[in-house]
Amino acid sequence: MAKDKFPYSFKVTAASVVNKDQTVVVAPDEAGLKAIAEAFDLEAARGLKAEFTLKPYRKAGLRVVGPVTATIAQVCVVSLEPFESSLKLDVDRTFEAHSGKPGKIRDLNEDGEIEVDLESLDPPDVIVDGVLDLGAVICEELALSLDPFPRKPGVAFEGGVADADDEVAEKKPSPFAALQALKDGKET
């Protein structure tokens, strides 16, 4: 999925949040839910709702805080049965109107490398043309939270890797058994 191409969009003007917090509830309609489900290989997405509080951040930025809840239906990679699960994601992200001087990449050291401090907060994302797409925020958070190999609760993969000839696989000694035999042979 391209960075600027999300299956759902809900845009707000950053300038509308000036000196006080603003609450925004985002709930995609049926077409939006269907587009999100298709984009993320879900059987279905239902009850998707975000209750964001938009807070002023620095001079022209925004902080987006609040929960995203949904019920999603996926297909189990083990049993191939569809199953539903509930999601509750806590969003806390910051956005700035610009990311530094035009044409300059942020956070490069003198060697031209990006330095990452694992103890610091993530740098703010960018508000493009004064507009923040809360639909894109929801889609990004959802994409990051989905298990790429979903399993229905209680289902486990049994049997391990199947060989072409299961009887030969059963008779093959464990490499650890061979090591134990060498050890036992040296001690006697």
pLDDT of residue 117: 65
Contact criterion met (CB below 8 Å) for 9 and 138: no
Contact criterion met (CB below 8 Å) for 153 and 76: no
* 112 DSSP β-pair partners: none
| Per-domain residue ranges of the chain | 11-161
Both tokens of residue 144?
């990051």
Find, among 41, 54, 57, the residue nearest to 142 by Cα: 41
* 89 DSSP β-pair partners: 68
Residue located via tokens 């950053």: 14
Confirm whether pTM is higher than 0.85.
no
Residue located via tokens 């703010």: 124
User: Does residue 145 come out as left (phi exceeding 0), alpha (psi in the -120 to 50 range) or beta?
Assistant: alpha
pLDDT of residue 179: 79
pLDDT of residue 106: 52
Q: Sign of the CA dihedral 136, 141, 142, 144?
A: positive
- What's the average pLDDT block by block, 10 residues per block, for the chain (188 residues)? 75 85 95 96 95 89 94 93 94 80 55 68 82 94 93 78 46 74 70
On the 0-12 / 13-18 / 19+ scale of CB atoms within 10 A, 77 is middle
Residue located via tokens 């300059």: 104
pLDDT of residue 173: 65
